[in-house]
Amino acid sequence: MTTLAVSDVLDQLNAALSEHHDVVLEAPPGAGKTTLVPLELLQHPLLVGQKILLLEPRRLAARMAAGRMAEQLGESVGHQVGYRVRMDTKIGPNTRIEVVTEGILTRMLQDDPSLEGYGLVIFDEFHERSLDADFGLALTLQGRELFRDEQPLKILLMSATLDKRVIEQLLPQAPLISSQGRMYPVAIHYLGAVGRDQRLEQRVAQAVLQALEDEPGSVLVFLPGQREIRQVMRALSGQLSTEIVLAPLYGDLSIQAQQQAIAPAPEGQRKVVLATNIAETSLTIEGIRVVIDAGLSREARLDPGSGMTRLHTCRVSRAASIQRAGRAGRMQPGCCYRLWSEAQQAQLAPHATPEILSTDLTALALQLARWGVDDPADLRWLNPPPAAALSQARDLLVRLRALNDTEKGFQLTTAGELMARLPLHPRLAHLLLVGWQAGATRLACDVAALLSERDPLSGDADMSRRLSWLKGDIRCDARQKGVLQRIRQLSQQFYRLCGQYLGALSQTQTGLSESELVAVLIAQGYPDRIAARRHSGDHYQLSGGRAVRLVEADPLAKHRWLAVANCGGMQGQSVDRVFLACPLPDRLFDTALSSLVVAHTVVEWDRQQNRMCCEVQHRIGVLVVRQVELKTIPMAEKNRVLIEQIRKQGLSLLPWSDGINRWRQRVGFLYQAQPADGPWPDLSDTALLAGLEQWLAPYLDPISHLNHFARLDLAAILQGLLPWPLPNELEKLAPSRLTLPSGHSAAVDYSDTPPVLAVKLQEMFGSTDTPVIGYGVALKIHLLSPARRPLAVTQDLASFWANGYRDVQKDMKGRYPKHQWPDNPQACLPSDGIKRKNRK
């Protein structure tokens, strides 16, 4: 057996697995944990006769790990060591180590929660914290707790960089075993961030040329995605000597192309491998001595606002940067060029965000329902699924008819059970289910296969062009032959799965054309992406509410309705771009898509006509397919809308008059002045708006137009809010007018606080007591000149006569000589004219 760095801790690892159910192994890249540990543990006494399940995050890593272990045993894959990945399985009757991708573990557990026959599950590269790995661990822990009392299943987490704090919270008893490894030294060179005036591919190409000139050996370049890989390949075109082999490496490449990228460079040549984060872990690329790291990765994140998953280009974590640099020191001393500064390195997040916190949870929600869990808290998680994202996922599953939302929680339907068994995203599983029932299985498999892979064609968004390409009706570019073959193989695999899982379902021929069937399939798989054109042009609205657009001059823009399979955009954009869609004849809403159409009785206020409107709207999501106006409006709904409209536009919609306003001010004065347990109601705007249902709704039955509000007897309605004997008390405590000493009366203005009594100064002669109303509130008296202009304001008449009057008398006596300005106003008789009267 090959001796690798991890060999130093194998005895410690064996002992830990004998004493504990859970163990954590931390070892740097190249230590041999992926290929050596499973082989060594085959001989563990507790695993005799038991299988080992090794989880890898990617198909390429699973195949390579299985091949390497089989090679060390001198066997071919499929004997003691085998693998299971999508579209490819090599397992034999004597296989004891099964290398699988993480999603396969979930399906194995769903079929057998006890994992009977398996003694150890190894989660490799666990630091990546994929959704499938987190969920698989949660199911494994519960399955062991429920079904493996006698012979508990062992769990081993392996990684080069772990967030120990999180692991310790979930597995507090698990010992941590660390292997220091035998990494060769890697010199780090910080080249600084890419400038604003320089494109990423230009800077990377410069770094590649510099590395080839300064360093021996092959070069591994980390880039965020396929687009950047193609751009760098173009930037390097014509600048590399014939001894340099340029090789891309990403997940969508064929197996042969991936293996060519990993294989050693031909003798006398060097290799430049342009890779995504697929090369971060598990894979050893022979001859790599130099790593160039752009410091970026592309992650799928759920946009909570739209419910769509978008690709985000973001900075790698510090742990990922260490992993990447380690690729240069596996075989010999190496170096790493980082396209950022040393200061920026310290600012990187310590670890990547767990996928469960940022991705679409639809598949997780379906598998939870199949497991029988309604509350995720019933499972043990490193990070529980976010409630909002899980709720969105369940809403979609209800629309896909996979779940029923009941009083007892979300229940898996018969269709949902079948969808959960199909190893596809629930959208595509539902698409296959609909295709099978419509007798269009082959077509459904072709559509699902195209949607499972990256779009093979560019240009317009028409799905029919992709189907023609897949059938061979459109010429396939030589560079796309491998993609075409892979999609065809995937379609064949889907067809076999349909026969395996859906064979018991009946099939009915629909009589629809192929183009109509494609529209039905996509609409059923993506009911939240049915799109209606907005007025004119290439802008549409999705049934889920999001705005989308076609590229300019796309032929699909002539269609009013579309079934959109793929759309997306950048974070912060208000309008997404449609990448794949097909025309959707609206007559299908009455036939094949009628199950998606929901009738809603809508009572609303027509702002253009200022009247009530009632109609039955047949809708898919927010889109109205058709509407029928109703002449009879449900009274309760109508009144609810009227009250809602009053709240929006304000109480000014009601027929207020000066008299009503003055009356309400008087009541408002008493409400404010009364003691804490006083009887007077609050008739302020705020209180009236809050209580519309109680005091106004009973009188709204005749109202259906803006003009009808004038018919309301608002005075009587409001006065009805004063219980007996308050109407009588109102005039006593808050009179509308007061009798003056002159014998006349004057109105009291309750719009101010305290209320105001405006009166000519001469009419208050002889009076030293300030009038008091309500609950002992002195009026604010505005004393006026003969021309009714303010002379003084007071709430204390006696004080005014004694102090303020002299200044007024001095100023007014010359201006109004015919009026009375006595030296002793308290002793004078009141008067409203110029005739002098003496007190008898």
> Could you tell me if 726 and 739 lie in one domain?
no
Beta partners for 611?
606, 705
Rounded to whole angstroms, the Cα distance separating 661 from 193 reads: 69
Does residue 684 form part of some domain?
Answer: yes
Tell me how crowded residue 351 is: count the other CB atoms within 10 A of its CB: 18
> Which residue type occupies 32?
G
pLDDT at 553: 87
pLDDT at 3: 60
> Could you tell me if 770 and 688 lie in one domain?
no
Q: What is the pTM for the complete model shown? A: 0.78
Q: Which residues contact 180 (CB under 8 A, 6 or more apart)?
A: 5, 8, 28
* Higher pLDDT, residue 390 or 839: 390
> Could you tell me if 739 and 726 lie in one domain?
no
Does residue 297 form part of some domain?
Answer: yes
Question: For residue 141, what are the domain limits?
Answer: 5-178
Tokens (6 digits) for 432: 């296959």
Give CA separation, 609 vs 613, 652, 704, 706, 755, in Å.
9, 18, 11, 9, 42
Tell me how crowded residue 445 is: count the other CB atoms within 10 A of its CB: 25
Q: Which residues contact 377 (CB under 8 A, 6 or more apart)?
A: 384
> Could you tell me if 655 and 790 lie in one domain?
no
First to last CA, the chain: 134
Among 75-89, 383-397, 594-608, 649-663, name the one with the lowest average pLDDT: 594-608
In this predicted structure, the answer to whether residue 702 has a pLDDT above a threshold of 60 is yes
Tens of pLDDT along 673-690? 999 888 999 999 999 999
Question: Which CATH number covers residue 52?
Answer: 3.40.50.300
pLDDT at 571: 63
Does residue 593 form part of some domain?
Answer: no
> Could you tell me if 394 and 268 lie in one domain?
no
Rounded to whole angstroms, the Cα distance separating 580 from 112 reads: 38
Rounded to whole angstroms, the Cα distance separating 750 from 736 reads: 9
> Could you tell me if 333 and 243 lie in one domain?
yes
pLDDT at 377: 94
Give CA separation, 646 vs 351, 609, 651, 652, 704, in Å.
53, 16, 6, 8, 13
In this predicted structure, the answer to whether residue 2 has a pLDDT above a threshold of 60 is no
3 state SS of 75: coil
In this predicted structure, the answer to whether residue 235 has a pLDDT above a threshold of 70 is yes
Tens of pLDDT along 155-210? 999 987 777 788 888 999 999 998 876 678 899 999 988 777 788 889 999 999 99
> Could you tell me if 167 and 275 lie in one domain?
no
> Could you tell me if 348 and 384 lie in one domain?
no
In this predicted structure, the answer to whether residue 834 has a pLDDT above a threshold of 70 is no
Query: Last residue of a domain, which of 563, 585, 607?
Result: 585
Query: Last residue of a domain, which of 732, 751, 783?
Result: 732
Does residue 465 form part of some domain?
Answer: no
Tens of pLDDT along 349-374? 988 889 999 899 999 999 999 999 99
> Could you tell me if 164 and 36 lie in one domain?
yes
- Whether omega before 830 lies within 30 degrees of 0, making that bond cis, reads no
SS3 of 213-254: the string is HHCCCEEEEECCCHHHHHHHHHHHCCCCCCCEEEEEECCCCC
Give CA separation, 603 vs 246, 591, 614, in Å.
65, 27, 4
Q: Answer whether 449's CB lies under 8 Å from 488's CB.
A: yes
pLDDT at 306: 57
Does residue 476 form part of some domain?
Answer: no
Query: Last residue of a domain, which of 585, 604, 623?
Result: 585
Beta partners for 156?
23, 122
Q: Answer whether 794's CB lies under 8 Å from 808's CB.
A: no
Q: How many domains does the chain have?
A: 6
Tokens 């390497």 identify what position?
Answer: 68
Tokens (6 digits) for 618: 């047949």
Residue range 659-675: mean pLDDT, rounded = 93
Does residue 266 form part of some domain?
Answer: yes
Does residue 590 form part of some domain?
Answer: no
Which residue stretches of 412-440 are H helix?
Answer: 414-421, 426-437
> Could you tell me if 372 and 264 lie in one domain?
no
Rounded to whole angstroms, the Cα distance separating 755 from 677 reads: 22
Q: Which residues contact 209 (CB under 8 A, 6 or more apart)?
A: 236, 239
> Could you tell me if 714 and 782 lie in one domain?
no
Does residue 512 form part of some domain?
Answer: no
> Could you tell me if 18 and 157 lie in one domain?
yes
